């Protein structure tokens, strides 16, 4: 009973002690200044003179920033109208079959770039059976809704040489579109077209300059068109035919040997060339004749009078006998031919 | 040569084995006394398929072409015990008539290769024409070449291999015989010639005794 009371008194005392929080430590007079005069206070970055949060909570809230309210059109989700191709360029783009391989009526390429790209496309046309036509647009431009690209390609490029038509967007090669003339669409699969376009776009993105981008794009597209040509001839796709390793190993540098150093030796050698050229075929012919004669050779044995043995009229020459009953009994162990009654069982 | 039954060395021209008394009559009693008609390649055991038969026949034909005096015969069949294969080969080459063999080739020029696939044994017997040129070691080497194939029951491959080696041995012996025929002739010389030799030696002794002076004559001088 006494023990229970003692326990209860102890628990009550401990609860009262826990309810009273100890006071936070504070600076004594001049203690902080003395420490700061030494240049560094341990834990100084944690110490702050700002008032506790309860003090700021009582401060007045900041005035709301005045912002323009969204318009009705914006709240309806309408986007900015796309940058359409000016109508004056429509005939040049979509009115007829292009006269050359590079169609840029808006002058998006500089004259030098235009000349270089056109020169490359002409070179490609001379080297390939598939022409490459490129329409150049601004990066954000949209094809007018009235124009149907597939129908245009079918109308303009169904006659003449097979052609690949690319709608290229400057600074935005990822928007490029590839169309093939009707004579190619049956042979070149859509997957192959997609791969060609993707690899060309990847090549374009290796540079940030728009002019260099279109250059890389066209070079890669020309390579892919070469593989399309191979497919027309029955070859497999470049992914299957090309090796995985693209980087070509550098050939070891072999120091050039001056030929003059060996000139006397070569002069001596030249004197033996003619006799060797005459003798070598003769030697070869002799070897071949010898081989042929050896193969056709007939071998004869002298015939001796042999007295019959064991009553055999024709033969008594009993040769060897070999057993192949077991691999553990090799021929070497059977060399000594003994009668069977002497052979171990 | 050795006796087909007791494998002991026997004397030239012996009508029967001096050790066990074996002769062709014993073989006749065991395998039959009448003449037998066979083809050069007789596959009684049925171990060769069609394509394999052609390969073996081609190898046999090649030996016959290279050595116009000789022919090769192959017999396969179940004979029972290993000991029988020597006696059977000896008997078969003496008693058989080969249907597809030209008449100008006697059995003396034959080489018979016998295979018993049941007892897993093979042996070679040859005629008197090759008595001076082949010995047991030569034939053993031929069979050794085929051993690995026959272990795997590739009988045709083994036969072709054995015949190929036999061809090489015969070619070598033929060249040696062309250079030194007496060496081989001495192997089969009849015993009667030895008597002549003894007589010549005795005659030589007599001639020497008549020509040289005696001791008394020397002293008298």
- From chain A, the residues in CB contact with B126 under 8 A are 315, 317, 319
Give the integer Cα–Cα distance in Å for B11 and B17: 8
Bridge partner residues of A67 (DSSP): none
Q: Is residue B44 part of a domain?
A: yes
Q: DSSP class of residue A300?
A: -
The terminus-to-terminus CA distance of chain B in angstroms comes to 59
- Is pLDDT above 80 for A112? yes
Q: What is the CB-side half-sphere exposure of residue B33 using CA atoms within 13 A?
A: 5
Average pLDDT over residues A6-25: 61
* Span of A247-256, A336-345, B101-110 with lowest mean pLDDT: A336-345
Q: Is residue B168 part of a domain?
A: yes
- This model of the complex carries an ipTM of 0.81
State the Rg of chain A over Cα.
Answer: 49
Burial environment of residue B46 by CB neighbours within 10 A (0 to 12, 13 to 18, 19 or more): exposed
Q: Is residue B99 part of a domain?
A: yes
Q: DSSP class of residue A320?
A: E
Give the distance from residue B56's alpha carbon to the nearest chain A alpha carbon, in angstroms. Answer: 19
Backbone angles phi, psi at B46, to 5 degrees: 65, 40
Q: Which CATH number goes with the domain that contains B104? A: 3.10.310.50
State the Rg of chain B over Cα.
Answer: 23
Contact in structure between A159 and A106 (CB atoms under 8 Å): no
Query: Which structure tokens are listed for B206?
Result: 């007599």
Range of B40's domain?
Answer: 24-215
Average pLDDT over residues A90-101: 88
Percent of chain A with pLDDT over 70: 73
Q: Is residue B138 part of a domain?
A: yes
Q: DSSP class of residue B9?
A: B
The model's pTM:
0.48
173-202 of B, contacting A, C-beta below 8 A: 173-175, 177-178, 181, 184-185, 188, 190
Q: Is residue B18 part of a domain?
A: no
Q: For B166-185, what is each residue's pLDDT tens digit?
A: 999 999 999 999 999 888 88
Contact in structure between B167 and B62 (CB atoms under 8 Å): yes
**B35: confidence class by pLDDT, cuts 50, 70, 90:** confident
Query: Which structure tokens are listed for B9?
Result: 């060395």
Q: For A152-210, what is each residue's pLDDT tens digit?
A: 888 888 888 889 999 999 999 999 999 988 888 888 888 888 999 999 999 999 888 99
- What's the domain count of chain B? 1
Q: DSSP class of residue B133?
A: T
Q: Is residue B32 part of a domain?
A: yes
Give the distance from residue A305's alpha carbon to the nearest chain B alpha carbon, in angstroms. Answer: 8
∠ CA(A298), CA(A300), CA(A306), 5° rounding? 160
Give the integer Cα–Cα distance in Å for A76 and A304: 124
8 Å CB contact of B122 and A308 = no
Q: Is residue B8 part of a domain?
A: no
Q: Is residue B148 part of a domain?
A: yes
| Residue B3 CB neighbour total at 10 angstroms | 26
């Amino acid at each position: 009973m006494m023990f229970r009371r003692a326990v209860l008194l102890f628990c009550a005392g401990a609860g009262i002690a826990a309810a009273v929080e100890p006071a936070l430590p504070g600076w004594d007079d001049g203690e902080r200044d003395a420490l700061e005069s030494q240049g560094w206070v341990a834990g100084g970055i944690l110490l702050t003179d700002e008032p506790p949060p309860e003090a700021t909570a009582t401060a007045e809230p900041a005035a709301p920033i005045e912002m323009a309210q969204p318009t009705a059109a914006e709240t309806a989700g309408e986007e900015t109208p796309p940058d359409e191709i000016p109508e004056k360029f429509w005939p040049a783009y979509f009115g007829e079959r292009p006269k050359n391989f590079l169609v840029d009526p808006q002058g998006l390429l500089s004259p030098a770039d235009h000349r270089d790209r056109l020169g490359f496309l002409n070179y490609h046309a001379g080297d390939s059976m598939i022409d490459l036509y490129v329409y150049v647009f601004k990066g954000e431009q949209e094809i007018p809704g009235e124009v149907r690209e597939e129908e245009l390609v079918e109308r303009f490029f169904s006659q003449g040489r097979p052609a690949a038509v690319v709608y290229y967007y400057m600074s935005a090669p990822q928007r490029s579109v590839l169309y093939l003339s009707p004579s190619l669409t049956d042979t070149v699969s859509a997957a192959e077209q997609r791969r060609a376009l993707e690899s060309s776009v990847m090549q374009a993105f290796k540079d940030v300059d728009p002019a260099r981008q279109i250059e890389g794009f066209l070079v890669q597209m020309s390579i892919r068109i070469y593989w399309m040509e191979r497919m027309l001839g029955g070859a497999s796709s470049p992914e299957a035919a090309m090796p995985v390793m693209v980087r070509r190993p550098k050939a070891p540098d072999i120091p050039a040997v001056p030929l003059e150093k060996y000139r006397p030796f070569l002069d001596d050698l030249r004197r033996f060339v003619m006799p060797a050229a005459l003798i070598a075929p003769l030697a070869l012919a002799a070897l071949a004749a010898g081989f042929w004669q050896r193969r056709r050779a007939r071998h004869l044995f002298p015939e001796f009078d042999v007295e019959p043995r064991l009553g055999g009229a024709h033969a008594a020459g009993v040769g060897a006998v070999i057993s192949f009953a077991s691999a553990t009994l090799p021929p070497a162990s059977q060399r000594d031919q003994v009668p069977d009654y002497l052979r171990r069982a | 040569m050795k006796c087909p039954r007791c494998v002991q060395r026997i004397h030239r021209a012996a009508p029967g084995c001096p050790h066990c008394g074996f002769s062709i009559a014993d073989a006749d009693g065991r395998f039959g006394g009448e003449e037998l008609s066979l083809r050069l390649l007789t596959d009684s055991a049925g171990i060769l398929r069609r394509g394999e038969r052609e390969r073996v026949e081609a190898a046999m034909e090649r030996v016959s072409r290279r050595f116009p005096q000789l022919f090769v015969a192959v017999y396969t069949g179940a004979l029972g015990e290993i000991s029988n294969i020597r006696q059977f080969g000896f008997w078969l080459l003496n008693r058989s008539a080969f249907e597809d063999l030209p008449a100008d080739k006697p059995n003396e020029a034959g080489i018979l290769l016998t295979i018993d696939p049941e007892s897993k044994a093979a042996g070679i017997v040859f005629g008197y024409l090759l008595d001076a040129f082949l010995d047991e070691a030569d034939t053993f080497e031929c069979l050794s070449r085929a051993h690995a194939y026959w272990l795997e029951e590739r009988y045709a491959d083994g036969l072709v291999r054995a015949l190929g080696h036999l061809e090489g041995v015969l070619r070598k012996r033929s060249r040696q015989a062309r250079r030194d025929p007496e060496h081989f002739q001495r192997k089969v010389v009849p015993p009667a010639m030895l008597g002549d030799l003894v007589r010549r030696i005795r005659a030589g002794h007599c001639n020497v005794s008549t020509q040289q002076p005696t001791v008394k004559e020397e002293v008298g001088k």
